[in-house]
Chains A and B, each alone.
Chain A
Amino acid sequence: MRAASGMNSTASASFAAPSSRWVTPMRLVVALGSAAFVISWHIIGVNLHSVFSLQAAADTWKFVSGLFPPDFSWEFLRTVFAATSQTLATAVAATILSIGLGLPLAIFASANLWRRGVLVEAEQRSAGAAVLSAMSRLTRAVLGFVRAVPDLLWAILFVTMVGLGSLAGTLALAVAYSGLIGQVFSDVFDAADLQPLEALQSTGATRLQIFFRGMLPQCLAPLTAYALYSFECCVRAASVLGLVGAGGIGYEIGISLRLFEYGQVLTLVLAFIGLMAITDALSRFLRGRITRRSLKTATGQRTFPKLGRLGTFLFSLVLVIGVGGSFYLSGFRPEVLDQQDLIRHATQFLLGMMPPDLRPTFIYKMSYLVLETFAISFIGTCIGVLFGAVLSVPATANLVFVNADETARHGALERSFRFLLYWVARLVLNFMRAIPELVWVLVCILVIGIGPFAGAIAIGFHTAGVLGKLYAETMEEARQAPIEALYAVGARPFQVLLCGIWPQAKPMLFNYTLLRWEANLRVSTILGLVGGGGLGQAIYNNIQLGFYPQVATMILLVYVLVVATDWAGDRIRNYYWQNQAASC
């Protein structure tokens, strides 16, 4: 009886679980997304003719053929070496400065030390304590602001303040990364185990004593790991900063592009990729050591081998020379710092920004730029998702190779074809990812001209590399057992992708895409500094014209935009994860 009624009601059942509502979250997202796409498309003036034209093809060919052969002349290699070491020095000095600046702020921003919890609970509710608590909250907000403003924006501000050169870059990175360091470090402090701190307090220790003897030792491993990661990011940023006049590899890339010396560009890009690869590997090695050490504390194993007295001396010597040299190279030189008008100029600039131009008419005028910035990030992300998704399929090992036994079944020709397909896809993705967005902008400008469309395509290329790699890795991590079952049914790789891998990977793919869009919005505010449209372009123009109050307003707008996106992204992600179990 039950069976019969079941059959009748299901004969017309749809594939998905039946829903009584006409408006489902999925349909809403699709509708909003399509609307945003159409509007964004319109705003940034996507001109497909300019991409798919003979002229564009000729320009692209001119550029690509110009890249080869790369310029390996002795003369130029010296320039490359100098630029690379300057970039590295900038990163080292900026990281040290940002830790020096960020650590005290992080301590002061920590809620557990000053605002709530067991350490402050017993204290008198005096005016002093209230002020301290408010100051701590304020510090946290300032860190949030410093972090939300993109590093390149800091760079152009410092270039205006202290002039062209790597000193501006170093200071900019020091400030930008102190925001990041401060925020992350204070999060780490707040995650510390409070019980040992309570014990220390009961001995009568002061707040700072508690910090140094109880909190810091607990947090040392994650702090070091994060500082190393931050150094990695710093090297990447330091290479790009030069594009707005702050020295290093980026500066040389900008010059070579303007001189149409594309061979030199390729050499510089290769140097950049090499520098990044070495830094990544070194940082990953050290971080791995540190986290492994902190996991097995009881084994008595040392994180790093013990050095003898001579070893310690030599190590310290190298360290001192390295750090000192970095500061020297990155612009902390007497002749740079001694300029009479350095301080005067800087204060003049800062005071010039006060008060920001908050007239409604001006802000209304800016709203179109905000929209344009948003549109660049949206179209850019869409392009990235499209290319990334297409490239991620041949870059997924369990789709291309199936398994070792399956591969052996194919003929030698097909096997080598699959191998080639996989490695070419991986190589293309890595290359797209390695080139920073700003360099992509400069390349795109050569073909389609200055403007928001170039910015969107640039973001799209970089995003395709980042997302394609993440997509492929996520799909490779899908559970293998169901996939084996589908192959055993006689399914082809594409069917396995659709019915076995996609349903498993979908939530993570969505998550990564959303996170990347947030990052892209941040980037799209600065693309304009090199000609990619959006708010950045207006900021650049206004700085050139000396309209500093307007610049201040635009920086505030960037802050609002970034914070709003982070907030919206968090909400969407939470909503999505909560509804994962219910409907898929």
Chain B
Amino acid sequence: MIYALDSVSKVYLQGRTRVRALHEVSLRVTGAEHIALLGPSGAGKSTLFRLLNATIRPTHGAVLFEGRDLTNMTGRQIRAVRQRIGTIYQQHNLVPSLTVLQNTLCGGLGRWSLAHTLKGMFRPQKPDLEKALSAIETVGLADKRHARADELSGGQQQRVAIARALMQDPDVILADEPVASLDPRLAEEVMDLLIQVAHENQRTLIVSLHKVDVAIQRLPRVVALREGAVEFDAPSSQVNPTLLKELYSTGTPAARKEKNESGFRNEFNCLS
């Protein structure tokens, strides 16, 4: 069991108003599963990722990683866990003034001592350098390795973020909208890359996506979030257009329910 979430809720304080980002989410991830996370914007996908990589704490409930409660750990333990979870952020989250190589090397920080980090700022150790370069090679940016991150295009930055995750060599890869800012061909490539990387080392992969067809085609399991709650959690083969239409429809739950009922009536009318 990699992840176990039991009715986890997260409430943010935005000024004086309380924003409910996640509401009683329960989720089980066993072994090297590949999961697509679907849901409209603001459904709580990014919040879920930040809970899964131990950046934030749930307001209620517990997030268990390999059976251990993430909310009840010392700083050292939490860093050890984070080191095993690689996150690829929607906005790439690269350090803008560092080069591709330097940004990639940052993936190793969790394993390094302070002295090692300091030494690495001037001359990285050979094993680190080789690992980083092979990660850059994998994402196809070898010729750009000395370019600054803020000089790259969105797609290239995305690939640097993946290289950083590869450098980290994690057991779990969390990718938040990794293909949102890419054209269809690049999106295909990046998805291939992620799935290939996950397959190779038996890693768990959780990808949030806006492109429903990509999700259903490429990943065996789909978890759908809507307004901070799990709408459905099913094998992709069982996901049908009705479910998806439901997921992305607008309006409050009450209004939807009403619409549903009228929909049923319509069907009924047709039948009669």
List chain A positions with a Cβ less than 8 A from chain B: 2-3, 6-7, 10-11, 13-18, 403, 405, 408-410, 479, 481-482, 484-492, 494-495, 498-500, 503-504, 506-507, 581, 584
Contacts and interface: CB of A to CB of B under 8 A. Distances in A.
A11 B99 contact: no
A500 B95 CA distance: 6
Interface stretch (B27-35, B117-125, B200-208, B264-272): B117-125
B55 A484 contact: yes
Given A2-B142, A15-B101, A408-B57, A489 B83 contact: yes
Interface string B9-44: 000000000000000000000000000000000000
User: Size range of the interface on B?
Assistant: 35 or more
B120 A490 contact: no
B82 A492 contact: no
Contact of B71 (A409, A484, A495): A409
A495 B109 CA distance: 7
A568 B107 CA distance: 40
A15 B102 contact: yes
B24 to A, nearest CB: 19
A507 B91 CA distance: 23
Given A481-B89, A499-B98, A490 B118 contact: no
Contacts of A17: 99, 146
Given A11-B130, A484-B93, A584-B148, A495 B142 contact: no
Interface in B86-130: 86-87, 89, 91, 93-99, 101-102, 105-107, 109-112, 114, 117-118, 120-124, 129-130
A424 B98 CA distance: 32
B82 A489 contact: yes
Contacts of B91: 481
Contacts of B68: none
B109 to A, nearest CB: 4
A11 B81 CA distance: 30
Given A486-B109, A490-B83, A499-B117, A405 B57 contact: yes
Given A481-B91, A486-B106, A3 B55 contact: no
Contact of B114 (A18, A479, A494, A507): A494
A503 B97 contact: yes
Contact of A498 (B96, B118, B124): B118
Contact of A10 (B80, B123, B133): B133
Contacts of A507: 97
Nearest to A6: B142
Given A481-B89, A584-B148, A10 B120 contact: no
A482 B164 CA distance: 12
Contact of A405 (B55, B142, B146): B55
Contact of A489 (B118, B142, B168): B168
Contacts of A488: 53-55, 82, 85, 87
A5 to B, nearest CB: 9
Given A15-B123, A488-B53, A488-B55, A499 B106 contact: yes
Nearest to A499: B106
Give the 5 A-B residue pairs with the shortest CB-CB distance, closest first: A490-B110, A490-B83, A6-B142, A485-B93, A491-B109
Contacts of B85: 488
Contact of B146 (A18, A408, A500): A18
Contact of B142 (A10, A490, A498, A503): A10
Nearest to B73: A409
A16 B102 CA distance: 8
B137 interface: yes
A17 B57 CA distance: 40
A11 B133 contact: yes
Nearest to B117: A495
Given A481-B89, A488-B87, A499 B109 contact: yes
A13 to B, nearest CB: 7
A504 B95 contact: yes
A503 B95 contact: yes
A10 B145 contact: yes
B57 A482 contact: no
B183 interface: no
Contacts of B78: 409
A504 B55 contact: no
B199 interface: no
Nearest to A481: B93
Contact of B112 (A3, A13, A487, A495): A495
Quick one: which of B94, B95, B112, B118 has the most chain A CB within 10 A? B95
A486 B105 CA distance: 11
B56 interface: yes
A13 B129 contact: yes
A6 B55 contact: no
B60 interface: no
B213 interface: no
A494 B142 CA distance: 29
Contacts of B259: none
Quick one: which of A18, A403, A487 has the most chain B CB within 10 A? A487
A6 B134 CA distance: 10
A479 to B, nearest CB: 7
14 contacts: A14-B123, A15-B129, A16-B99, A17-B99, A481-B91, A488-B53, A489-B83, A490-B82, A495-B109, A498-B118, A499-B95, A499-B102, A503-B98, A504-B96
Contacts of A491: 79, 106, 109-110
B109 A490 contact: yes
Given A488-B55, A489-B83, A489-B168, A495 B114 contact: yes
